[in-house]
Amino acid sequence: MHKPRMHLLASFDIAHLQYLDEAGRATQELPDFATPDTLLAFYRQMSLARLVDDRAVKLQRTGQLGTYPSSLGQEAIGVGTGSALEKSDVYCPYYRESGALLERGVKIEEILAIWGGDERGQDFRHAREDLPLCVPIATQLLHAAGVAFALKYKREQLDEPPRVAVASAGDGATSKGDFHEALNLIGVWKLPAVFVINNNQWAISVPRSAQSASKTIAQKAIAAGIPGLQVDGNDVIAVRSAVADAIERARNGEGPTLIEATSYRLCDHTTADDASRYQPEEEVREAWKREPLIRLGRYLRNEGLWSDEQEGELQRELAEVMEKALRAYSERAKDKPTAMFDHLYARLPEAFLEQYDQLAGEQ
């Protein structure tokens, strides 16, 4: 049988971005934003995220917190992303997000409250327009598309300043229809949206290789006709650079971007999980060598920007911050039961007053 002659219609490239390698060596000239101050701030925020996760897991172990999803090993993604947004931008997080939430000004005790089974945690004191943490996988990407539409609409129709919607999701989330529908919409409506995928190689026990035959997640952008790229998600400079560039383009009306940030989940999926059942030990050991905090620390030390002493001081400072937050969390009075009706509708319909009274009466 002879082979049909076909003509080339289109070609696509997917590229990878890295600034710091595993040993903390710069692989290319660092971007302008990477001043010592910024890098030290990254280091602090990643350290804080790690501490929050660590304490949260401990709280869960002692029955003071519900199921908790740590972001151990993926702090560069949250911090790199969160730090790239303007305050007025809108962040649309998934649930594995300590780093980004801290960047957005969400309070540690709010994060704890959420996982402690208290809706009031989602009533962020700051970041009032950010979306709440989102549990149903990938749904936040469609909300982010809607947010991006609203921001574009308000700019064009209501003369408001340009703002961008930034959403995050996991690698598993990219298998879901919501991901595709959202990506396709932000593409065809050219919305000011940036999607950052935390590719931590696992969706609970399902490895990346069992999620999709696609070589990269970045290439899924091609289906939507938008730019996609992969960054080293353990390199906070690369994450910040890629996200900031994408945000800038979105803000300038140049459309959306999909960013795959590769990392590794160095912890259980949540405190309800036991990753040793499925993560190969060897793979985990290798992944520890690439983790983001040590990497940035090495760079800083090589550059003479960081020392054991500073590390000690930082840890003491963060421990205090954490202590205060833990106190705020544990001192929080339990919400009143009728709260479940208070925010159900703007005004409770008459039809439910009887139930409201029953609930109130039972306390």
Partner 1 sequence: MAQITLLEAVTQALAHELGADPRVVVFGQDVGVNGGVFRATEGLQKTFGPERVLDTPLAETMIAGIAVGMATQGLRPVAEFQFMGFIYPGLDHILNHAARYRNRTRGRLSCPIVYRAPFGGGIHAPEHHSESTEAIFAHIPGLRVVVPSSPARAYGLLLAAIRDPDPVIFLEPKRIYRAAKQEVPDNGEALPLDRCFVLREGTDITLISWGASLKETLEAAEQLAEEGIEAEVIDPATLKPLDIHTVIDSLEKTGRCVVVHEAARFGGLGAEIAAQIGEYAFDLLKAPVQRVTGYDTVMPYYQLENNYLPDTEQVLTAARATMDYPGEGAK
Ligand X SMILES: Cc1ncc(C[n+]2csc(CCOP(=O)(O)OP(=O)(O)O)c2C)c(N)n1
Q: Catalytic site residues? A: 265, 269, 278
Whose Cβ is closer to ligand X: residue 24's or residue 207's? 207
Tell me the DSSP string of 280-302: -HHHHHHHHTT-HHHHHHHHHHH
Residue among 220, 240, 265, 290 that touches a second copy (CB under 8 A): 220
Q: Which two tokens stand for residue 258?
A: 């999909």
- Reported as type and span, the H/E element at residue 247 is helix 236-251
Q: Which amino acid is at 361?
A: G
CA 155/CA 325 separation, integer angstroms: 37
Distances (CA, A) of 243 to 37, 129, 175, 256, 263: 19, 20, 22, 11, 16
Q: Indicate whether 277 belongs to the interface with a second copy (CB under 8 A).
A: no
What does 204 bind: ligand X, a second copy, Mg ion, none (CB cut-off 5 to 8 Å by kind)? ligand X
What does 143 bind: partner 1, a second copy, ligand X, none (CB cut-off 5 to 8 Å by kind)? partner 1
Q: Indicate whether 265 belongs to the interface with ligand X (CB under 6 A).
A: yes
Q: Which amino acid is at 302?
A: N
What does 96 bind: ligand X, Mg ion, partner 1, none (CB cut-off 5 to 8 Å by kind)? ligand X
Q: Indicate whether 188 belongs to the interface with ligand X (CB under 6 A).
A: no
- x/- track of binding to Mg ion for residues 198-217 (CB under 5 A): --x-xx--------------
Residue among 1, 6, 9, 158 that touches partner 1 (CB under 8 A): 158
CA 154/CA 323 separation, integer angstroms: 41
Residue among 179, 264, 299, 306 that touches a second copy (CB under 8 A): 179
- x/- track of binding to a second copy for residues 285-324 (CB under 8 A): ----------------------------------------
DSSP state of 20: B
- x/- track of binding to a second copy for residues 188-207 (CB under 8 A): x-x-----------------
CA 300/CA 306 separation, integer angstroms: 5
Residue among 8, 158, 333, 346 that touches a second copy (CB under 8 A): 8
- x/- track of binding to ligand X for residues 75-104 (CB under 6 A): ---------------------x--------
CB of 142 to a second copy, least distance (A): 10
CB of 355 to ligand X, least distance (A): 29
CA 221/CA 187 separation, integer angstroms: 9
Helix 292-302 and helix 36-61: axis angle, to 10°?
Answer: 150
Q: Indicate whether 229 belongs to the interface with a second copy (CB under 8 A).
A: yes
Owner of token pair 């649930």: 95
DSSP state of 220: G
- Reported as type and span, the H/E element at residue 58 is helix 36-61
Sites for ligand X among residues 154-173 (CB under 6 A) = 170-173
Determine contact, residues 16/222, Cβ cutoff 8 Å. Answer: no
Contact residues toward Mg ion (CB under 5 A) are 170-171, 200, 202-203
